[in-house]
Chains A and B, each alone.
Chain A
Amino acid sequence: MKNNVGREIPDEILNEKDYKTFKSVDIGNPEKQRVAPKVSVSTGDDKVVDSLEDVVKENVKDGMTISFHHHFREGDFVFNKVMDIIINAGIKDLTLAPSSLTNVMNDKVVEAIKAGTITNITSSGMRGSLGEAVSHGLLKNPVIFRSHGNRARSIEEGEINIDVAFLGVPNSDRLGNANGMNGDAAFGSLGYALMDANYANKVVLLTDNLVDYPNTPASIKQTQVDYVVKVDKVGDPDRIGTGATRFTKNPKDLKIAKMVNDVIIHSPYFKQGFSFQTGSGGAALAVARFLRQSMIDNDIKASFALGGITKPIVDLLEEGLVNKVMDVQDFDKGAASSMKNNKNQQEIDASWYADPDNKGAMVDQLDVAILSALEIDTDFNVNVMTGSNGVIRGAVGGHQDAATSKMTIISAPLTRGRIATVVPKVSTVVTPGDSIDVLVTEVGIAVNPKRKDLVEAFKKVPGLPLVSIDELQKRAEKIVGKPEEIQYTDRTVALVEYRDGTLVDAIKEIKD
């Protein structure tokens, strides 16, 4: 059956898993029932254990759902350590439900799939050897990709029912009061892990830094935690986040960033108390620099910056140009280390950040979002999941969530090498075009024709190179040529949910 972005979703998937197809980016005002976790009652005096093996053997059984967070990013030591024990214990048929999977986890996941340990996965994304393996059919059941907001929703509504959460923390006391801000492996916000701590039936903290009771500030609380396991090291500080984020010198990135800034400051949203979210890519970071100058020149301050936070955003906070930073994760050390010193850098959980089934999420209040794209098509649908060869190599992240902002700008080069970014049809729809408002490339700006108000506003601005997205697509094709079509089999290897849990696309196995 075709959904509302023209994607064919196999009927057997819809029937088997009781799925609905994507209809609209408008969530509406439904009434939803949330779930609550089981509580194993204890006074908490015997939570500290030395043997991770014992904890795993006592709590992880065949067919369960286990979870992890990805706040340690490429410096994670927790995932592989826990998975090794689970694989060696011969446990089978697990559902893996981490907030996302980073490259350091790839080989272990592949090993666990081959061993029959993992038979289902839901994640924000996957890359590298794991993405290749899944795209070539390694996993029998389709992977389910969910945005950060959708993961929060799915946990709250019982679609993801976590039996055991293994959460690495850079500090904890003996009862499990913990935060992400202090310790050798500090990473700042615990945003995504807070969902697991709140909703998993069993919560196992792993830490290399046991501190005096009671530990404050406590992002994860003793009321949520079943075990505190002392390990040698939870993460490699040098690989958790790169040190100082350097500004791009790439002239193409700078040109795009300047054009994005021009779009923002000439939009109706650039006024006292506006809010914004930027990604972590080179162009997005450069936007922060141009935006800073425009805010100073026009004497405009932002009420908040949202999402994954970088040092340039923290600098705006410290300069007084941004009142609050609402922080669900930190992309670099500068952002991670400033949280403990600045009370205006507020840690938020994934639900507060972006869960659509909410009494108001932060993304619902967002004015401007600057996001990236691997591909964007002439209907403004965006792909951040599969590469030009159809192989899984990305993540939904907060893309669908932040795209609900009042003005969502995609900043992307027209082409990358011989690969066109603006294409007739994206290989995978992740974010529907209805929530994308402006595309900025180095050769021109395309406004979604559905946003007549923005078209009118930008027409009045001299020097803004407005073009249609069809022109951009033709221009890209003229440069790189017309590629051959990717060959897929009939088998579905992954499903992409929209943030409300409907199916926005199905990813097929690559034909070799």
Chain B
Amino acid sequence: MGIKETALAGTLESSDIQITLSEGTGINIDLDSSVEALYGDQIKKVITDTLNKYGITDAKVKAVDKGALDCVVKARTMAVAQRALGTTDEPNWEVL
């Protein structure tokens, strides 16, 4: 499944991650992280897994990470996914 509109979640503060979702083919993650060498793959995995739970298989992801923990990465991905799908009024509880 693709997405309806470009959406953004998160900030550029320390320990946060800012994720932008826009149209694309396949999940394509452009990650810029202060801890990329240590946690790059893990961050990409959390984003991909979370998007998949929303059924999103086609999206371009731009992620600017400032050392966010996995729980934060997941929360921001959920927020950006619901915004991109236009479903912010009806949270998908199953993903939680």
Contact = CB atoms under 8 A, between A and B. Distances in A.
Interface in B28-87: 34-35, 37-42, 66-70
B41 A418 contact: no
Contacts of B69: 418, 479-481
17 contacts: A388-B35, A389-B38, A417-B14, A418-B35, A418-B67, A418-B68, A418-B69, A419-B35, A479-B69, A480-B39, A481-B42, A481-B70, A483-B35, A484-B40, A484-B41, A486-B37, A486-B38
Contacts of A389: 37-38
B15 interface: yes
Contacts of B66: 417
A399 B38 CA distance: 27
Interface string A471-495: 0000000011101101000000000
B67 A419 contact: yes
Contacts of B42: 481
A76 B39 CA distance: 38
B30 to A, nearest CB: 19
A484 B37 contact: yes
B67 A483 contact: no
Contacts of B38: 388-389, 418-419, 483-484, 486
A481 B39 contact: yes
5 closest A-B pairs by CB = A417-B67, A483-B38, A418-B67, A418-B35, A389-B37
A480 B34 CA distance: 14
A419 B66 CA distance: 11
Interface residues of B, number: 15
Given A480-B69, A481-B42, A417 B37 contact: no
B56 to A, nearest CB: 24
Interface in A374-432: 388-389, 417-419
Contacts of B70: 481
Which of B15, B38, B69: most chain A Cβ within 10 A?
Answer: B38
Contacts of A480: 39, 69
Interface of B: 14-15, 34-35, 37-42, 66-70
Contacts, number: 37
Interface in A61-120: none
Interface of A: 388-389, 417-419, 479-481, 483-484, 486
A417 B34 contact: yes
Contacts of A481: 39, 42, 69-70
A332 B7 CA distance: 47
Contacts of B35: 388, 417-419, 483
Contacts of A483: 35, 38-39
B61 to A, nearest CB: 19
Nearest to A480: B69
A418 B70 CA distance: 9
A215 to B, nearest CB: 48
A418 B68 CA distance: 6
A418 B15 contact: yes
Given A388-B35, A418-B38, A483-B39, 6 more contacts: A388-B38, A418-B35, A419-B35, A481-B42, A483-B38, A486-B37
Contacts of B68: 418
A480 B38 CA distance: 11
Contacts of A484: 37-41
Given A480-B69, A481-B70, A417 B39 contact: no
A362 to B, nearest CB: 38
A250 B38 CA distance: 27
A417 B15 contact: yes
Contacts of A418: 15, 35, 38-39, 67-69
Which of B14, B39, B41, B68: most chain A Cβ within 10 A?
Answer: B39
Nearest to A416: B67
A389 B67 CA distance: 13
A473 to B, nearest CB: 16
A481 B43 CA distance: 11
Contacts of A388: 35, 38
A484 B37 CA distance: 7
A426 to B, nearest CB: 15
Contacts of A419: 35, 38, 67
B19 to A, nearest CB: 16
Which of B37, B67, B69: most chain A Cβ within 10 A?
Answer: B37
Nearest to B15: A417
Contacts of B39: 418, 480-481, 483-484
Contacts of B14: 417
Nearest to B66: A417
Contacts of A486: 37-38
A481 B37 CA distance: 13
B37 to A, nearest CB: 5
Nearest to B46: A481
A237 B37 CA distance: 39
A117 to B, nearest CB: 32
Contacts of A479: 69
Nearest to A417: B67
A479 B35 CA distance: 15
A419 B70 CA distance: 13
Nearest to A420: B38
Nearest to A484: B38
A388 B37 CA distance: 9
A388 B36 CA distance: 11
Nearest to A479: B69
A389 to B, nearest CB: 5
A481 B71 CA distance: 11
